Amino acid sequence: MEKANNQSFYKSASMNIQILFVLASICMIAFSIYLTNHYFEIIFPMGLGSSTLCDINTFFNCDITTYSPFSNIAGIPISLFGLVMGSMLLIGYFFPTESVSSTLHFLLRVNLVGCVVLFLYSLFFLHGLCPFCTLYYISSAAAWYSMHHTKVPAKLVIKPLAIMSVVVLIASGLMWKVVDGKRDYQDKLATDLIRQFDSLPNLGAPAEDSAYRVASSTPKFTDAVIQITKFSDFQCPACKMLSEILEKVAKRYAGKINIQYVFYPLDPTCNPNMTNPLHQYACKASYLAACLPEKFPEVSHKIFANQNDLSDKWLLDYAKSENVLDCYQSPETKKKVMDLIALSNPFNIKSTPTSLINGIKVEGALPLKNLTAILDEIVRRHDGK
């Protein structure tokens, strides 16, 4: 251990510690940039398609945190503060004083406490971890260890703290303008979304109607003005988000809309299109829902609402409470789900949720405002005939 009391970390740390510190700082910046971009792609999508790198399975999934209430502060993604923290650590090399080192060490402690709190929140309340968030936590711990190892005192010094606070305020202000601009753009996006929608091929409807409807205005699915087929997985966070959006859509367009649900669990137990198990209880949740077609809106809502708590016990207890335990455990029910999954084959489903809106394939969960822009145009064109 170096003797570095009352000295600058940037001058006193060994070469190995400096390398660890720089790499950790760069990683903090890189992971924060990715998470910021991911936040904007999910919350403010610019088009009709979406994909993500870090949704590995039910447990390691970025969307569970992106959709959580702690993903932002007043609309500003919290990853911005990670980006600022990592940047200030590197900028410290240009101001290698003891006061700067001590203040940064103190802020790294606060940052690490925040990381631990968010880690525990994700683990015990969201029942999953965001992979890139976790990598940021590890990088933050490595940066903190570097300063702690050199015995740099952790204390606040007014002058560097004031300067750093101004930097944070400026960064927050700039990010607020970006967020505000994206909100404004979303308001003006309707024309472009409709143009994109019109440019996509019409794939038609599935070969058979699904018995599982969220909204129903006509007996025959394709007779409604608006026809939405949702290929979905009960353990997919984005599917849960879309489910909540479609509940609002169903009320807004009541009498004009049919919304049918087609099971597409990301689980090879019942989905032959899957090679790796991503969602452990997705097939079982589908079996349960398949047993209650007449109560499907209520059942699907309850399963999604308890998405983080799904387990064998939860599903069994629900099946027992609805007196469908035999159906839930029946091979015929599994076959029924697999037959529905087969309806997706002509549409090349690669991710969930994927929807067919009057035959047009749309991937991901469009924000309500974007979706209603398209649906309003469909209704306008129908009424104008």
Quickly list DSSP for 341-352.
HHTTGGG---SS
- Give the tokens for residue 301: 């809502």
Q: What is the DSSP letter of 186?
A: H
Of the candidates 27, 1, 28, the one whose C-alpha atom is nearest the C-alpha of residue 14 is 1
User: How far apart (Å, rounded) are the C-alpha atoms in residues 265 and 279?
Assistant: 7
Whether 363 and 48 have beta carbons less than 8 Å apart is answered as yes
pLDDT of residue 385: 64
Q: At what angle do helices 131-149 and 15-43 cross, to 10 degrees?
A: 150
Tell me which residues of the chain have a pLDDT lower than 70. 1-6, 49-58, 385
362 phi, psi to nearest 5 deg:
-130, 125
pLDDT of residue 384: 82
Sheet arrangement for strand 213-215: 213-215, 257-263, 226-232, 354-357, 360-363
Residue found by looking up tokens 């809309």 in the block = 257
Query: Element (H or E) spanning 240, and its range?
Result: helix 237-252
Burial class (CB in 10 A: 0-12, 13-18, 19+), 341: buried
Name the amino acid, one letter, at 299.
V
Residue 261, strand partner residues: 230
Going along the chain, which residue ranges are E strands? 72-73, 76-77, 213-215, 226-232, 257-263, 354-357, 360-363
User: How far apart (Å, rounded) are the C-alpha atoms in residues 129 and 62?
Assistant: 7
- Over residues 70-126, the pLDDT tens digits come to 999 988 999 999 999 999 999 999 999 999 999 999 999 999 999 999 999 999 888
Whether 68 and 380 have beta carbons less than 8 Å apart is answered as no
- What number of H helices and E strands is found in the chain? 15, 7
Residue 259, strand partner residues: 215, 228
Kindly compute the dihedral angle of the four CA atoms of residues 374, 375, 376, 382, in this order, to the nearest 10 degrees: 110
pLDDT of residue 5: 44
Write the CB contacts of 21 (distance below 8 Å, at least 6 apart in sequence): 9, 13, 89, 142, 143, 146, 147
Write the CB contacts of 180 (distance below 8 Å, at least 6 apart in sequence): none
Residue 309, CB half-sphere, CA atoms under 13 Å: how many?
A: 12
Write the CB contacts of 74 (distance below 8 Å, at least 6 apart in sequence): 176
pLDDT of residue 51: 54
pLDDT of residue 278: 85
Domains and CATH numbers, the chain: 9-188 (1.20.1440), 202-383 (3.40.30.10)
Residue 141, CB half-sphere, CA atoms under 13 Å: how many?
A: 9
| Residues belonging to the chain | 385
Residue found by looking up tokens 């994927």 in the block = 354
3-state class percentages of the chain: helix first, strand second, coil last, to nearest 5: 60, 10, 30
Residue 33, strand partner residues: none
pLDDT of residue 276: 83
